[in-house]
Chains A and B, each alone.
Chain A
Amino acid sequence: DGGITQSPKYLFRKEGQNVTLSCEQNLNHDAMYWYRQDPGQGLRLIYYSQIVNDFQKGDIAEGYSVSREKKESFPLTVTSAQKNPTAFYLCASSISSRIGYEQYFGPGTRLTVT
C-alpha cells in the first residue's frame, strides 16, 4: 500500500538530547513537509523540501534540522536548542510543491521531552 509512515508513534527523551523523527513515503512524491501541532493550535510548518538535496525553512524552523538524501525519506531532528520540543509532529508529502496542493499526512509522532 502507498502511504506515509512515521516512527515511532510515541517518543520520550530527556531535555538536552537531540532526537530524530523518521518519515518515509512510497508515493513517489517530490515534496515533503514537517509540521508541528500543539494543543488548540493549527499545524505550523517547520521545514519543507521540494526535491532531493534541497529544503527550506518554514515558519518555525529554529531548533530543528532536516535532511533529504533520498526522495522517500525526510527525517527531522529536534535539537536541544528547541525550547519547547514536546508536541505532536506530522510529516506530509505532495506530488510537487509547485503544482500540488493536496498534502498527504502520516500518522504523526508524539514527542515528550522531560
Chain B
Amino acid sequence: DQQVKQNSPSLSVQEGRISILNCDYTNSMFDYFLWYKKYPAEGPTFLISISSIKDKNEDGRFTVFLNKSAKHLSLHIVPSQPGDSAVYFCAARTPNSGGSNYKLTFGKGTLLTVNP
C-alpha cells in the first residue's frame, strides 16, 4: 500500500517558467512533509519541508503548499532553471509505534527536466 504517491513520473518545463510537482498521501498520521532532490548516482539532498500545521513554506525559488483536507502537497519552483533538472522525491514523516521515533516514507519520485 503506497502511502505517499507521486503520480507523475516525469515533468518537462521551459527555463524561466514555473514547475509544479505534486504529491498525495493517505496516512493522516503524517506530521511533517519534505522534498528531496536527487541527481543520478548521488544521494538525495534536502530541499524544503513543511509542518502539517502550516499550509505554505517558502525558501527562495521554492515554495511548498500543503492542503491537509485533500491530503495533497505541491512543490513550486519559480523560475525554473536547467540546473533544477533532477528527480524530486516527496517524503512524509510519521511516528513509529510507541511514538518514540520517526521514520520517513518516500514517494517514487518525479523526474523534472528544465529545457533551456
Of the stretches B11-19, B62-70, B74-82, B106-114, the one at the interface is: B106-114
With the chains together, A90 CA to B109 CA distance in Å? 15
The answer to whether A108 and B43 have CB atoms under 8 Å apart is yes
Contact of B34 among A42, A58, A101, A110 (CB under 8 A): A101
Known: A40-B108, A101-B102, A102-B34. 19 other contacts (CB 8 A): A6-B43, A35-B106, A40-B9, A42-B4, A42-B89, A42-B106, A42-B108, A43-B44, A48-B103, A50-B101, A90-B43, A97-B102, A97-B103, A98-B100, A100-B102, A101-B104, A105-B43, A105-B45, A107-B43
Interface residues of B (CB under 8 A from A): 4, 6, 9, 32, 34, 36, 41-46, 49, 89, 91, 93, 96, 100-104, 106-109
